[in-house]
Amino acid sequence: MRHLIQTTDLSTDEIDKILSQANTHLQANTHLEEEPHHTLKGKMAVTIFFENSTRTLSSFEIALKRLGATVVRLDVSKSSTAKGESISDTAANLNAMKPHAIIIRHKNAGAGEHLAKYVSCPIINGGDGAHAHPTQALLDLLTIKNHFKTSLVGKKIAIIGDIKNSRVANSNIELLGRYGMEIILVAPPHFLPSTHLQTTADLKSVLGEVDVLMSLRTQTERHDTQTYGSLKDYAHHFCITKDMIKDKNIIILHPGPVHRNVDIEDEVLKDPRCKVLEQVTNGVAVRMAVMEHFLL
Ligand code: NCD
């Protein structure tokens, strides 16, 4: 049984196929009820999100419904986990209802991999702690590829923000690196992981050489203690402003939720080079393709 826990679970060939299928879905540009190909009709998927989510949960559910699958959302606050049942027992019980896939988000790194031992259907990781968020990296890759329309080898991306605590950064470092992008990590020292990649705390110094800026939210929920002066101090150095990007030929990504005027300035969010909402649209298409890949 195959699972999608991290981006390395997929070969580059498989990813190319998933992205191409995602583009087919994007071109069809259909709404929920209009999708002509209900390829997942008769399939049932369970979503179980132990952490808050706006985009990822709805994106998976819309993707599945567009393909004709039935989606059952387990309301974690009302589930037996809240009554002390272990997550593996919850998984084994869900599995006994014979879903075709379980999509999980959890605050602990490794939660999806752990669950995979108790079920007989694919586990799709919707984000586990600071470890991995594979479908986010896939949708980011799609957004970058669709913009440049050429090979990404040698293109440069600056990933900016709380990289150490970010599953989005982790997954993107593997995936974008695999597609040949050069990655520069831009963060204050306390937000940097130990890494072989180029790092700097000076965002302005890399603006002249990069093609993509990927901003990340400060993951305050994962900090034991506050390790920075204030978000205002942080923003002073790391917020992407209009004044910084001027008329440079770059694109700006962010997985959301955006801390406005801390991660990205309001003006930049309105700029056509800012792809934040395109990422959300691409997310549904990528998740449709991912679910077809694992369920068909
Ligand atoms: C990210 C997440 O939850 O990992 N958001 C998302 O999935 N779109 C990033 C974040 O919470 O900062």
**Mutation test of ligand 1: which of 59, 104, 136 has the most ligand atoms closer than 8 Å to its C-beta?**
136
Nearest ligand 1 atom to the CA of 126 is: 7
Strand partners, 221: none
Domain spans of the chain, in order of start: 7-133+280-295, 134-275
Full pLDDT tens readout for the chain, 296 residues: 999 999 999 999 999 999 999 999 998 876 655 666 799 999 999 999 999 888 999 999 999 999 999 999 998 877 777 777 888 888 888 999 999 999 999 999 999 999 999 999 999 999 999 999 999 999 999 999 999 999 999 999 999 999 999 999 999 999 999 999 999 999 999 999 999 999 999 999 999 999 999 999 987 666 666 666 678 889 999 999 999 999 999 999 999 999 999 999 999 999 999 999 999 999 999 999 999 999 99
Alpha helical stretches, state H, 30-184? 55-66, 87-96, 111-116, 134-148, 167-178
The architecture CATH gives domain 134-275? 3-Layer(aba) Sandwich (3.40)
Structure tokens at 75: 């309301």
User: Which residue's CA lies nearest to atom 7 of ligand 1?
Assistant: 56
Looking only at Cα atoms, what is the longest distance across the chain? 56
Distance CA 102, CA 120 (A): 10
Domain pair 7-133+280-295 / 134-275, same fold: yes
**Mutation test of ligand 1: which of 52, 54, 56 has the most ligand atoms closer than 8 Å to its C-beta?**
56
For residue 138, the CA-to-ligand 1 centroid distance in Å is 14
7-133+280-295: which CATH topology? Rossmann fold (3.40.50)
Nearest ligand 1 atom to the CA of 216 is: 12
Residues with Cβ within 6 A of ligand 1? 55-56, 127, 133, 136, 167-168, 217, 255-256
